[in-house]
Amino acid sequence: MKFLKHIIAFITIVVVVNAEAQTTNAKMNAFVNNLLSKMTLDEKLGQLNLPGAGDITTGQASNSDIGLKIREGKVGGLFNIKSIEKIKAVQKVAIEESRLKIPLIFGMDVIHGYQTEFPIPLALSCSWDMKLIEKTARIAATEASADGICWTFSPMVDIARDPRWGRIAEGSGEDAYLGSQIAKAMVHGYQGDDLSKNNTIMACVKHYAMYGAAEAGRDYNTTDMSRSRMYNEYLPPYKAAVEAGAGSIMSSFNEVDGIPATANKFLLTDVLRDQWKFKGFVVTDYTGINEMVNHGLGDLQKVSSLALKAGVDMDMVGEGFLTTLKESLKEGKITIEQINNACRLILEAKYKLGLFDDPYKYCDEHRAATEIFTEANLKFAREAAAKSFVLLKNKDQLLPLKKNTTVALVGPLANSKENMLGTWAVAADFTKPLSLFSAMKNKVANNVSVLYAKGANISEDSAFEARVSVFGKPFDRDNRSTDILIKEALDVAEKADVIVAAMGETAEMTGESSSRSDISLPQSQKDLLKALIKTGKPIVLVLFTGRPLAIKWEQENIPAIINVWHGGTEAGNAIADVLYGDVNPSGKLSTTWPQNVGQIPIYYNHKNTGRPLEEGKWFEKFRSNYLDVSNDPLYAFGYGLSYTSFSYSDISLSKSTIKSNEKLDIKVTVTNTGNYDGAETVQLYIRDMVASITRPVKELKGFEKIFLKKGESKEVHFTLTAAGLKFYNNDLKFVFEPGTFKVFVGGSSDNTKEKSFELIK
Ligand code: BGC
């Protein structure tokens, strides 16, 4: 009876919620239909146009070129415009001077924070902490919306398995399951539970699709893959973001299967609309439409019509829609329904954001003082940064450092502020972060000295440095000879008990258009490390990077390595927290680190092949391997050390056989066996032993981050059902297939316990 009451209550709630949604939808439809009926063709095309902010300077909005276009109804939104003052001024032109007074939307690349910068996305993904990641997005949304922004070009959910690709920094790594969880968390963080609030902003999932699979890791390069790989390994995070309610999605620059994503009907209509039921709008990436001329699909008029027909709604920057669709309509190449449909989706987005009710709702000048760059936000940024660091090696427990040790802090990144922030710090103040040098000095106060010497430039090649900084701040290059620089470092090392070497990549060595074919430490830095080793002093390598690096030599020769990525505004403090043991590192890699570039692409969830290597061996003739390097990664997916250690019990399964309608309980006991309290991410993998298509040797299916005091044990449970064992078969049907499965549980993809079970019909 009680049960029945619950069901009735539940059904009532669902019915009420649905009814409310229907009323809201009906209201929105009526509003948008009415508006559409008043719009001229030019005004409709105007809504599809998303220019950059261009020449707007404070106080000049109305007279700028963009201002003129807005007045004529030729602009749907603007991006990369910063400050409430400017945003208010251009919105005023739209509301007071354009015929239909349709508000603009304002977008920006708020990627890993607004003014409070968080670690780059790849770093954040190594926290494996969904609440934390969601909260970074929530804070970013609050700060951005307090500064006039209502739309962010984030999350980037492109799966990437090639660390040569600079944009690997912007995503969540190589795994579809982890990537999907993060995609959801980010969308929820930005959009909250109500997009019409003034502190939530619309997410834009990007770059749809398969942008991370660019051949040879070269940005914007061709992508080609089987549908089976797409559906099983690359599409899930986009789908997860769509299911989480993302309001918009960005089509990518690359081609897929011979057709640029921006004109790809299969992706934009068949998959996105028909299969996933996406209700938001599609915006191109930058000049994505114009670039299809270079792809070889026709002139601007042709490619613009292809994009519209395939399912693009809004044209970023290129103005192909604005300048050519009218002609294409006249020629019968496109239909007015296609234009109406795109326009409708953009108006709906504005409606959902509440802009028709109050076009200035994100322009409250009072909010900034109490909501942007607050102490609480900075505190959280410090926590997030520390949780993203991955301890890669810690021989003889060299870390944590004692606070009374004299440290020689050396390296080109030891005294840098701006490189803390990471690749997309569009709204940040680059003077705000503390350098590691300052943060370490603050941490030990006056107890003991932290001695500093730069010791090396980022690279021995000034032309390389110039290419890296084309778009940003020039390198702070020291033009004295290498010998002098190294000598200075050796002098401070001589006086110290331990050397901390802050090395790696500057923020701009990853990110857009920052692919590298050699992902090792630049020679100048290696030379410094080699000289430092000769002192015989213990060395801690603090590695700044936006991608996995090939650091086999460093792994073999340096006793302690901690990867700190580009950790955001509070990175300096967070690194000091971890180096001195106030925080125990707990990050786990979300991408495989190769031994060398030749192994790329290397990822944990590869297939077995017909000629796998026998376990324990690293070479056998006529097997799938190399003559000169083992198949092993340098660091596996899921790997990351702690100052403490954890042991895992054997796995216990609730059953050895489950039916397709049953659940399997998987239990392990994890114990903190070391001397520090610490967090561990317990990972669950499976392998489908026999199937109608080949399946990966391991596949992440769950994880739980637990905190254990030293000596403490915890039981961790995972539940698997047949639904969780599904995959896309060769007909692209999402199915499970009965048979034998292996389950693996452990603290890294290459260090697990295992058991088997059978799935029967
Ligand atoms: C990037 C996008 C970004 C857009 C707008 C493009 O070049 O690929 O990720 O959102 O610019 O800044």
Nearest Cα residue to atom 8 of ligand 1:
285
Report the residue among 79, 153, 315, 423 best suited for mutation to probe ligand 1: largest number of ligand atoms under 8 A from its CB: 153
The helix (H) or strand (E) run that includes residue 437 is helix 436-444
Distance 254 CA to ligand 1 centre (A): 13
The domain segmentation of the chain, as residue ranges, is 1-36, 199-337, 380-599, 646-760
The helix (H) or strand (E) run that includes residue 310 is helix 300-310
Confirm if 670 and 704 have CB atoms less than 8 A apart. Answer: no
Q: How far apart are CA 390 and CA 551, in angstroms?
A: 14
Average pLDDT over residues 243-249: 98
Predicted local distance difference test score (pLDDT) of residue 482: 95
Predicted local distance difference test score (pLDDT) of residue 476: 85
Q: How far apart are CA 340 and CA 444, in angstroms?
A: 64
Which has the closest alpha carbon to 127: 186, 182, 180, 192?
182
Six-digit token pair at 744? 């693996």
How sure is the predictor about 114, in pLDDT bands with cuts at 50, 70 and 90? Answer: very high
Q: Count CB neighbours of 704 within 10 A.
A: 15
Q: How far apart are CA 75 and CA 90, in angstroms?
A: 11
Note the pTM of the prediction, 2 decimals. Answer: 0.96
Predicted local distance difference test score (pLDDT) of residue 20: 72
Residue 8 has pLDDT above 70, yes or no: no
Per-residue pLDDT tens over the stretch 127-157: 999 999 999 999 999 999 999 999 999 999 9
Report the residue among 285, 315, 316, 424 best suited for mutation to probe ligand 1: largest number of ligand atoms under 8 A from its CB: 285
Nearest Cα residue to atom 10 of ligand 1:
153
Report the residue among 165, 219, 286, 423 best suited for mutation to probe ligand 1: largest number of ligand atoms under 8 A from its CB: 286
Distance 260 CA to ligand 1 centre (A): 16
Mean pLDDT, the chain, as a whole number? 95
Which atom belonging to ligand 1 lies closest to the Cα atom of 207? Answer: 9
Residue 447 has pLDDT above 70, yes or no: no
Distance 284 CA to ligand 1 centre (A): 9
- Rg (C-alpha) for the chain, rounded Å, is 27
Question: For the packed helices 320-330 and 336-352, what is the interaxial angle rounded to 10 degrees?
Answer: 140
Six-digit token pair at 230? 């797409």
Six-digit token pair at 172? 């969540």
Average pLDDT over residues 643-648: 98
> Which residues contact ligand 1 via a Cβ below 6 A?
109, 153, 206, 285-286, 512
Report the residue among 284, 426, 512 best suited for mutation to probe ligand 1: largest number of ligand atoms under 8 A from its CB: 512
| 3 or 106, which is more confident | 106
Q: How far apart are CA 125 and CA 594, in angstroms?
A: 18
Q: How far apart are CA 279 and CA 448, in angstroms?
A: 60
Nearest Cα residue to atom 2 of ligand 1:
285
Distance 178 CA to ligand 1 centre (A): 23
Q: How far apart are CA 482 and CA 487, in angstroms?
A: 8
Active site residues: 285
Distance 5 CA to ligand 1 centre (A): 51
Residue 12 has pLDDT above 70, yes or no: no
The helix (H) or strand (E) run that includes residue 552 is helix 552-557
Q: How far apart are CA 362 and CA 77, in angstroms?
A: 14
Predicted local distance difference test score (pLDDT) of residue 65: 85
Q: How far apart are CA 322 and CA 196, in angstroms?
A: 29
Nearest Cα residue to atom 12 of ligand 1:
109
Distance 219 CA to ligand 1 centre (A): 12
How sure is the predictor about 59, in pLDDT bands with cuts at 50, 70 and 90? Answer: low
DSSP annotation of 317 reads S
Predicted local distance difference test score (pLDDT) of residue 22: 78
Predicted local distance difference test score (pLDDT) of residue 724: 95
Average pLDDT over residues 591-595: 98
Q: Is the dihedral of CA 213, 129, 560, 112 positive or negative?
A: positive
Distance 131 CA to ligand 1 centre (A): 26
DSSP-based three-state secondary structure for 707: strand
Return the CATH architecture of domain 380-599.
3-Layer(aba) Sandwich (3.40)
Which atom belonging to ligand 1 lies closest to the Cα atom of 156? Answer: 9
Q: Is the dihedral of CA 383, 387, 389, 392 positive or negative?
A: positive
Average pLDDT over residues 25-34: 96
Contacting residues for 724 by C-beta, under 8 A, at least 6 apart:
701
Distance 294 CA to ligand 1 centre (A): 18
Please state which of the four CATH numbers 2.60.40.10, 3.60.15.10, 2.60.40.1180, 3.40.50.300 is assigned to the domain occupying 646-760: 2.60.40.10
Distance 244 CA to ligand 1 centre (A): 22
Per-residue pLDDT tens over the stretch 364-405: 999 999 999 999 999 999 999 999 999 999 999 999 999 999
Nearest Cα residue to atom 7 of ligand 1:
286
Average pLDDT over residues 721-736: 97
Predicted local distance difference test score (pLDDT) of residue 56: 67
Average pLDDT over residues 613-622: 93
Pick the range with the lowest mean pLDDT from 14-18, 279-283, 491-495, 504-508: 14-18
Q: Count CB neighbours of 530 within 10 A.
A: 12
Distance 285 CA to ligand 1 centre (A): 6
Nearest Cα residue to atom 5 of ligand 1:
286
Residue type for position 401: L
Predicted local distance difference test score (pLDDT) of residue 656: 97
Distance 204 CA to ligand 1 centre (A): 11
Q: Count CB neighbours of 712 within 10 A.
A: 12
Chain centre to alpha carbon of residue 193: 22
Q: How far apart are CA 712 and CA 731, in angstroms?
A: 48
What is the Cβ-side half-sphere exposure of residue 157, based on CA atoms within 13 angstroms? 34
Nearest Cα residue to atom 6 of ligand 1:
286
Residue corresponding to tokens 């496109």? 334
Per-residue pLDDT tens over the stretch 275-299: 999 999 999 999 999 999 999 999 9
Confirm if 368 and 114 have CB atoms less than 8 A apart. Answer: no
Give the CATH class of 199-337.
alpha beta
Residue corresponding to tokens 């701006």? 418
Average pLDDT over residues 641-658: 98
Distance 640 CA to ligand 1 centre (A): 31
Which atom belonging to ligand 1 lies closest to the Cα atom of 250? Answer: 10
The helix (H) or strand (E) run that includes residue 345 is helix 336-352
Per-residue pLDDT tens over the stretch 157-187: 999 999 999 999 999 999 999 999 999 999 9
